[in-house]
Amino acid sequence: MRFADLDAVTLDAFGTLVTLADPVPALVESLHERGIDADHERVAAGFAAEGEYYLPRSLQGRDEASLARLRLECTGVFLEGAAIDLDPVAFVDAYIEALRFELVPGAAEAVTSLRRRGLALAVVSNWDIALPDHLAELGLGQLPVFTSAAAGSAKPDPEPFLLALDALGVRPERALHVGDKVDDELGAKAAGMHFAWAPVADAVETLE
């Protein structure tokens, strides 16, 4: 494909645009401040358990109330996975505070390059409703965001992609999705879109 073949590009979020800074040191410190000595291994195990729990449930965080419930549940899973006896209500704010996202190297430059070429852009991601806030903090607040929470279904279901295409006013055969997971590829193709693998900077380079 070439730029001339496209009117729009959609981008996955986690692993394509953003990544997560290691939260374990911050979590260890937060627990220590509460008089709990938990080593790196225990905290890492708890965080891994929480990640597995959250991923298939991201679409449950569809408004402020449901997002708060989901975050509390996830904090409880973390604490249980780390074998820490602490009320999730007392730790949920510290847990969420420890989750800090960073831009994938080259992602911001790739977005700028796509925008300069006049392409319509959007983010399509399996995430809760907080994703626009995370992107805004990283300087990507101008991108329209379509999450699994907003769509009510998660990739590889094509619905999040179809919502994005409808909002952008673009036909699927004139759109490309860039992602880093098989669910990205399957969902994009089910929606009738083209697909390219992340890194997004490499995907943009192939379109030159």
pLDDT tens-digit map of 181-199: 999 999 999 999 999 999 9
Note the pLDDT of residue 1. Answer: 80
Does 10 share its domain with 110? yes
What local confidence, expressed as pLDDT, does residue 112 receive? 96
Instruction: Specify the pairing of strand 194-197 against strand 120-125.
Output: unpaired
Tell me the pLDDT band of 23, cut-offs 50, 70 and 90. Answer: very high
108 shares a domain with 49 = no
72 and 40 together in one domain:
yes
**Whether residue 115 sits in one domain with residue 13:** yes
Same domain assignment for residues 61 and 156:
no
pLDDT averaged over every residue in the chain: 96
Residue-level pLDDT at 208: 76
Element (H, E) at 52: helix 40-54
Work out the percent of the chain whose per-residue pLDDT is above 70. 100
pTM for this predicted structure: 0.94
Average pLDDT over residues 76-87: 97
pLDDT of residue 33: 96
84 and 184 inside one domain: no
Instruction: Report the C-alpha gap between 188 and 175 in whole angstroms.
Output: 9
Report the domain count for the chain.
2
Sorted by sequence, the CB contacts under 8 Å of residue 30 that are 6+ apart come out as 91, 94, 95, 97, 98
> What domain range includes position 60?
22-99
Split at pLDDT 50, 70, 90, the class of 16 is: very high
Q: State pLDDT tens for residues 111-163.
A: 999 999 999 999 999 999 999 999 999 999 999 999 999 999 999 999 999 99
CATH number at residue 190: 3.40.50.1000
pLDDT (tens digit, 9 = 90+) per residue, 53-66?
A: 999 999 999 999 99
Tell me if the bond preceding 199 is cis, omega within 30° of 0: yes
Cα(80)–Cα(53) distance, integer angstroms: 12
- What are the structure tokens assigned to 81, written together? 């996975």
